[in-house]
Amino acid sequence: MIERTLLIKARLGLHARAAAKLVRVASGFHSKVLLKRIDGPGGGNVSADAKSILSVLMLAASCGTELQASAEGIDEEAAMNAIDRLFDEGFGELGPEASR
Partner 1 sequence: MMEQLQEIRCKGLGVSEGIVIGQVLRMHDGTQHVYHWKIDDADLEAERRRFRAAVALASRQVLTIKEKAEERFGKDHAYIFDAHLLLLEDEKLIGDIERHITKEHANAEWAVKVVGDNLLYLYSQIKDDYLRERGSDIEDVMRRLLVALSGAQPGNHSLSEDAVIVSQDLLPSAVAELDLEHARALATDTGGWTSHTAILARGVGIPAVVGLRDFYRRTKTGDRIIVDSSRNEVILHPSAATLKAYQAETATRARQPDIADLAAMGPVRTQDGVEVTLRANVEVPSEFDGVERYGASGVGLYRSEFLLARRGAMVSEDEQRLAYEAIAKVAGEQGAVIRLFDLGGDNLREQFQEPEKNPALGLRAIRFGLCNEDVMRRQVRAILRAAASGHVKIVLPMVADVSDVRRAQGIIQEEARNLRKAGRSLGEVSVGAMIEVPSAVFMADRIARIVDFFELGTNDLVQYTLAVDRGNDEVADWFRTLHPAVLHSIEQSLKAAAHAGIPAIVCGEMASTPAYAVLLIGLGATDLSMTPSSIPRVRRAIAGIDSQQARLIAGECLNCDTADDVENLVRERFTNRWPDLFPSMSLPARGQSQ
Chain positions contacting partner 1, by CB under 8 A: 12-17, 19-21, 23-24, 41, 49, 52-55, 57-58, 60-62, 92, 98-100
Whose Cβ is closer to partner 1: residue 64's or residue 77's? 64
Query: Alpha carbon 53 to chain centroid distance?
Result: 10
- Single-letter code of the amino acid located at 3: E
Whose Cβ is closer to partner 1: residue 23's or residue 80's? 23
How long is the chain?
Answer: 100
Task: State how far the Cα of 56 lies from the Cα of 35, in Å rounded to an integer.
Answer: 8
Of residues 4, 9, 15, 21, which has the active-site annotation?
15
Task: State how far the Cα of 44 lies from the Cα of 46, in Å rounded to an integer.
Answer: 6
For residue 76, give the DSSP letter: H
**Is 15 annotated in the active site?**
yes
As measured in angstroms, the least distance from the Cβ of 68 to partner 1 is 19
Question: Which residues are catalytic, by number?
Answer: 15
